Amino acid sequence: MSLKLAISDTCFIIDWSYYRKRRILNELFQTVLLPEQVLEEVEDEKVISWISKNLASGKMLLFTPSPLDLRRAEELMLEVASRPYMRKIEIPEALCLVVGFRLNAVVLTENRGALLVPRMIKEWERVKVWRALETIKEAIKRGYVRVSNEEDIKRVFEEYERDTRHIFPRRDLIKAIEEVLSCLRIG
Protein backbone atom coordinates (compact mmCIF):
# COMPACT_ATOMS: atom_id res chain seq x y z
CA MET A 1 0.00 0.00 0.00
CA SER A 2 1.33 3.42 -0.86
CA LEU A 3 2.18 5.96 1.81
CA LYS A 4 -0.10 8.92 2.11
CA LEU A 5 1.86 12.13 1.94
CA ALA A 6 5.28 13.49 1.13
CA ILE A 7 6.55 17.01 0.73
CA SER A 8 9.48 17.72 -1.55
CA ASP A 9 12.10 20.43 -1.51
CA THR A 10 13.83 21.82 -4.57
CA CYS A 11 17.05 19.79 -4.64
CA PHE A 12 15.20 16.49 -4.36
CA ILE A 13 12.67 17.17 -7.09
CA ILE A 14 15.28 18.55 -9.52
CA ASP A 15 17.46 15.43 -9.32
CA TRP A 16 14.57 13.00 -9.11
CA SER A 17 13.09 14.35 -12.37
CA TYR A 18 16.19 13.07 -14.18
CA TYR A 19 15.78 9.52 -12.89
CA ARG A 20 14.52 6.93 -15.38
CA LYS A 21 12.37 5.32 -12.67
CA ARG A 22 10.91 8.60 -11.41
CA ARG A 23 7.42 7.08 -11.64
CA ILE A 24 8.06 5.17 -8.42
CA LEU A 25 7.53 8.37 -6.46
CA ASN A 26 3.91 8.34 -7.68
CA GLU A 27 3.53 4.75 -6.57
CA LEU A 28 5.15 5.24 -3.18
CA PHE A 29 3.00 8.23 -2.20
CA GLN A 30 -0.63 9.04 -2.81
CA THR A 31 0.23 12.74 -2.96
CA VAL A 32 3.47 14.71 -3.09
CA LEU A 33 3.11 18.28 -1.84
CA LEU A 34 5.15 20.92 -3.58
CA PRO A 35 5.42 24.24 -1.74
CA GLU A 36 5.00 27.29 -3.99
CA GLN A 37 8.46 28.43 -2.90
CA VAL A 38 9.93 25.23 -4.35
CA LEU A 39 8.15 25.55 -7.68
CA GLU A 40 9.42 29.13 -7.99
CA GLU A 41 13.00 27.85 -7.78
CA VAL A 42 12.62 25.41 -10.68
CA GLU A 43 13.45 26.58 -14.21
CA ASP A 44 14.81 23.47 -15.87
CA GLU A 45 12.49 22.41 -18.71
CA LYS A 46 12.71 18.69 -17.99
CA VAL A 47 11.86 19.24 -14.32
CA ILE A 48 9.02 21.68 -15.00
CA SER A 49 7.53 19.34 -17.58
CA TRP A 50 7.51 16.37 -15.18
CA ILE A 51 6.09 18.45 -12.34
CA SER A 52 3.35 19.85 -14.63
CA LYS A 53 2.28 16.36 -15.66
CA ASN A 54 2.07 15.32 -12.03
CA LEU A 55 0.14 18.42 -11.04
CA ALA A 56 -2.29 17.74 -13.88
CA SER A 57 -2.80 14.12 -12.83
CA GLY A 58 -3.24 15.08 -9.19
CA LYS A 59 -0.23 13.08 -8.00
CA MET A 60 1.41 16.33 -6.94
CA LEU A 61 -0.28 19.16 -5.19
CA LEU A 62 0.87 22.74 -5.17
CA PHE A 63 0.98 23.74 -1.54
CA THR A 64 0.48 27.23 -0.21
CA PRO A 65 1.91 27.40 3.29
CA SER A 66 -0.13 29.14 5.94
CA PRO A 67 1.26 32.27 7.65
CA LEU A 68 1.76 30.07 10.73
CA ASP A 69 3.83 27.54 8.70
CA LEU A 70 5.97 30.37 7.41
CA ARG A 71 6.47 31.77 10.91
CA ARG A 72 7.40 28.34 12.24
CA ALA A 73 9.79 27.81 9.31
CA GLU A 74 11.46 31.08 10.17
CA GLU A 75 11.75 30.02 13.81
CA LEU A 76 13.28 26.69 12.81
CA MET A 77 15.73 28.41 10.48
CA LEU A 78 16.85 30.66 13.36
CA GLU A 79 16.99 27.73 15.79
CA VAL A 80 19.34 25.89 13.42
CA ALA A 81 21.41 29.04 12.84
CA SER A 82 21.83 29.42 16.61
CA ARG A 83 23.67 26.09 16.76
CA PRO A 84 27.14 26.72 15.35
CA TYR A 85 27.80 23.03 14.68
CA MET A 86 24.78 22.68 12.37
CA ARG A 87 24.59 23.47 8.68
CA LYS A 88 22.27 26.40 8.03
CA ILE A 89 18.92 25.86 6.35
CA GLU A 90 16.76 28.34 4.48
CA ILE A 91 13.03 28.94 4.20
CA PRO A 92 12.14 26.37 1.47
CA GLU A 93 13.63 23.40 3.34
CA ALA A 94 12.58 24.71 6.77
CA LEU A 95 9.05 24.94 5.40
CA CYS A 96 9.15 21.33 4.21
CA LEU A 97 10.24 20.23 7.70
CA VAL A 98 7.52 22.27 9.41
CA VAL A 99 4.77 20.97 7.11
CA GLY A 100 6.16 17.44 7.27
CA PHE A 101 5.98 17.62 11.06
CA ARG A 102 2.46 19.06 11.08
CA LEU A 103 0.93 16.72 8.50
CA ASN A 104 3.03 13.66 9.28
CA ALA A 105 4.34 13.74 5.71
CA VAL A 106 7.71 12.32 4.63
CA VAL A 107 10.10 15.17 3.84
CA LEU A 108 12.01 14.55 0.60
CA THR A 109 15.26 16.47 0.49
CA GLU A 110 18.92 16.32 -0.52
CA ASN A 111 19.78 19.28 1.68
CA ARG A 112 22.41 18.33 4.28
CA GLY A 113 21.15 20.94 6.73
CA ALA A 114 17.58 19.64 6.57
CA LEU A 115 18.79 16.04 6.93
CA LEU A 116 20.59 16.94 10.14
CA VAL A 117 17.57 18.53 11.86
CA PRO A 118 15.92 15.30 13.10
CA ARG A 119 19.35 13.87 13.94
CA MET A 120 20.42 16.84 16.03
CA ILE A 121 17.31 18.49 17.49
CA LYS A 122 15.28 16.33 19.84
CA GLU A 123 11.92 18.04 19.22
CA TRP A 124 12.26 17.24 15.52
CA GLU A 125 13.23 13.58 15.93
CA ARG A 126 9.88 12.30 14.76
CA VAL A 127 10.02 13.97 11.32
CA LYS A 128 10.77 11.44 8.59
CA VAL A 129 13.37 12.86 6.23
CA TRP A 130 14.26 10.85 3.14
CA ARG A 131 16.89 11.34 0.49
CA ALA A 132 16.65 9.62 -2.88
CA LEU A 133 18.53 6.76 -1.19
CA GLU A 134 15.74 6.07 1.31
CA THR A 135 13.07 6.67 -1.34
CA ILE A 136 14.54 4.05 -3.67
CA LYS A 137 15.15 1.66 -0.78
CA GLU A 138 11.50 1.90 0.29
CA ALA A 139 10.30 1.51 -3.30
CA ILE A 140 12.24 -1.76 -3.64
CA LYS A 141 11.12 -3.02 -0.24
CA ARG A 142 7.48 -2.31 -1.09
CA GLY A 143 7.74 -4.06 -4.45
CA TYR A 144 7.43 -1.01 -6.74
CA VAL A 145 10.76 -1.99 -8.27
CA ARG A 146 11.21 -5.66 -8.96
CA VAL A 147 14.52 -7.22 -7.99
CA SER A 148 15.58 -10.83 -7.71
CA ASN A 149 19.14 -10.65 -6.46
CA GLU A 150 21.79 -8.39 -4.97
CA GLU A 151 23.04 -7.30 -8.40
CA ASP A 152 19.55 -6.10 -9.34
CA ILE A 153 19.38 -4.02 -6.18
CA LYS A 154 22.79 -2.47 -6.82
CA ARG A 155 21.77 -1.70 -10.39
CA VAL A 156 18.69 0.24 -9.29
CA PHE A 157 20.79 2.55 -7.11
CA GLU A 158 23.47 2.85 -9.80
CA GLU A 159 20.88 3.91 -12.37
CA TYR A 160 19.91 6.80 -10.15
CA GLU A 161 23.55 7.82 -9.69
CA ARG A 162 24.16 7.69 -13.43
CA ASP A 163 21.00 9.51 -14.49
CA THR A 164 21.35 12.35 -12.00
CA ARG A 165 25.12 12.61 -11.37
CA HIS A 166 24.36 12.15 -7.71
CA ILE A 167 26.55 9.93 -5.56
CA PHE A 168 25.29 8.08 -2.51
CA PRO A 169 27.74 7.91 0.39
CA ARG A 170 29.18 4.38 0.14
CA ARG A 171 28.53 3.46 3.77
CA ASP A 172 24.87 4.50 3.52
CA LEU A 173 24.49 2.67 0.23
CA ILE A 174 25.90 -0.59 1.60
CA LYS A 175 23.57 -0.31 4.61
CA ALA A 176 20.58 0.32 2.34
CA ILE A 177 21.41 -2.68 0.15
CA GLU A 178 21.78 -4.89 3.24
CA GLU A 179 18.44 -3.67 4.55
CA VAL A 180 16.69 -4.47 1.28
CA LEU A 181 18.35 -7.90 1.13
CA SER A 182 17.25 -8.70 4.63
CA CYS A 183 13.72 -7.40 4.10
CA LEU A 184 13.24 -9.38 0.87
CA ARG A 185 15.18 -12.36 2.23
CA ILE A 186 17.49 -12.44 -0.77
CA GLY A 187 21.09 -13.57 -0.68
Partner 1 sequence: MSEDRLKKLLAEIAEEEREAREIRRRMADWDFIKSQPPRIRAALEYYVETGDIRRASRIAGMNLSKFRKLLREASIPVVV
Alpha carbon distance 23, 30 (integer Å): 12
Query: Applying CB under 8 A, which part among 96-104, 107-115, 141-149, 179-187 lies near partner 1?
Result: 107-115
Q: Is the CB of 110 or the CB of 138 nearer to partner 1?
A: 110
Q: Is the CB of 44 or the CB of 104 nearer to partner 1?
A: 44
Per-residue DSSP letter, 22? T
Q: Is the CB of 14 or the CB of 24 nearer to partner 1?
A: 14
Instruction: Confirm or reject binding of residue 43 to partner 1 (CB under 8 A).
Output: yes
Alpha carbon distance 134, 170 (integer Å): 14
Is residue 129 classed as helix, strand or coil in its secondary structure?
strand
* Cα–Cα distance list, 11 to 25, 110, 120, 153, 181 (Å): 15, 6, 21, 24, 28
Phi, psi of 86 (to 5 degrees): -100, 155
Contacts for 143 with CB less than 8 Å, ≥ 6 apart: none
Q: Is the CB of 14 or the CB of 176 nearer to partner 1?
A: 14
Instruction: Confirm or reject binding of residue 138 to partner 1 (CB under 8 A).
Output: no
Residues of this chain, 9-28, that bind partner 1 according to CB under 8 A: 10-11, 14-15
Nearest alpha carbon to residue 109 among 3, 183, 11, 27: 11
Instruction: Confirm or reject binding of residue 44 to partner 1 (CB under 8 A).
Output: yes
CB 113 within 8 A of CB 124: no
Instruction: Confirm or reject binding of residue 146 to partner 1 (CB under 8 A).
Output: no
Q: Is the CB of 2 or the CB of 49 nearer to partner 1?
A: 49
Instruction: Confirm or reject binding of residue 164 to partner 1 (CB under 8 A).
Output: yes
**Binding-site residue total for partner 1 (CB under 8 A)?**
29
Among 87, 102, 141, 154, binds partner 1 (CB under 8 A): 87
Interface with partner 1 by CB under 8 A: which residues?
10-11, 14-15, 41-44, 47, 85, 87, 90, 110-112, 115-116, 119-120, 122, 131, 133, 164-170
